[in-house]
């Protein structure tokens, strides 16, 4: 701004020149052009955060179901109890449903390494001699172990539809834990 003297002594007025108003208008035009891009970027960040949150919830639910099934052999074969534990951990997030499948697996444990990989799909209660009539015999130094595998599956639905992104995205997580 310029300060200029008027004809009267002692009075100073502030005046604006035409060039002073151009800056304000240019900033407003720049904001109007960039605002849609900034809003789209903010929505994208929110959607990625929601996707990550639901993905973490599905993974945690699978681990919670596996932890419940790993308590003992009775829990390992209880698919309803495992599904209830996983769903309770998921807590029906935003009205979404969770699909849970579980299976106890039989394998040989040799110093912390399991074989065969993948394990037998038959359920084993290893008798004291270490044999299982449906799965065979463990190698020397190994013993039968029971694993419980839980797979939790859910879907992510974006708040808005975006070009090139499906209207819903399926996600699943699997947790495998040795039974105590």
Instruction: State the Cα–Cα distance between residues 149 and 86, nearest whole angstrom.
Output: 12
- For the segment 51-93, what is each residue's pLDDT rounded down to a tens digit? 999 999 999 999 999 999 999 888 888 999 999 999 999 987 7
- Are 81 and 64 in contact, with CB atoms under 8 Å apart? no
- Contact status, residue 156 vs residue 98, Cβ threshold 8 Å: no
- Look over the chain and give the mean of its residue pLDDT values, rounded to a whole number: 79
Is the confidence at residue 5, as pLDDT, over 50? yes
Q: What angle do CA 138, 140, 143 make, to 5 degrees?
A: 45
Q: Is the pLDDT of residue 16 over 90?
A: no
Torsion angle of C-alpha atoms 32, 37, 40, 45, degrees rounded to 10: -120
Q: What percent of the chain has pLDDT over 90?
A: 41
Give the C-alpha separation, 162 to 53, whole Å: 19
Position 55 scores a pLDDT of 94
So what's the pLDDT on residue 36? 95
Strands 99-110 and 143-156: antiparallel
pLDDT at 130: 47
**pLDDT at residue 134 is higher than 50:** yes
- Higher-pLDDT residue of 65 and 2 is 65
* CA–CA gap between residue 117 and residue 93 (Å, rounded): 34
């Amino acid at each position: 701004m310029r300060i200029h003297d008027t004809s009267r002594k002692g009075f100073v007025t502030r005046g604006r020149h035409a060039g002073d108003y151009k800056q304000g208008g240019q900033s407003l035009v720049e904001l109007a052009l960039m605002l849609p891009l900034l809003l789209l970027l903010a929505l994208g960040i929110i959607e990625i955060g929601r996707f990550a949150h639901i993905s973490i919830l599905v993974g945690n639910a699978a681990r919670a179901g596996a932890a419940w099934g790993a308590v003992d052999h009775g829990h390992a074969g209880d698919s309803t109890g495992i599904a209830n534990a996983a769903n309770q951990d998921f807590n029906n997030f935003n009205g979404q449903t969770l699909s849970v499948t579980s299976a106890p697996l039989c394998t040989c444990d040799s110093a912390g390494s399991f074989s065969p990989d993948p394990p037998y799909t038959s359920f084993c209660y290893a008798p004291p001699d270490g044999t299982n009539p449906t799965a065979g015999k463990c190698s020397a130094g190994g013993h039968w172990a029971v694993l419980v595998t839980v797979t939790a599956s859910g879907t992510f639905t974006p708040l808005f539809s975006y070009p090139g992104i499906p209207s819903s995205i399926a996600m699943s997580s699997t947790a495998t834990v040795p039974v105590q």
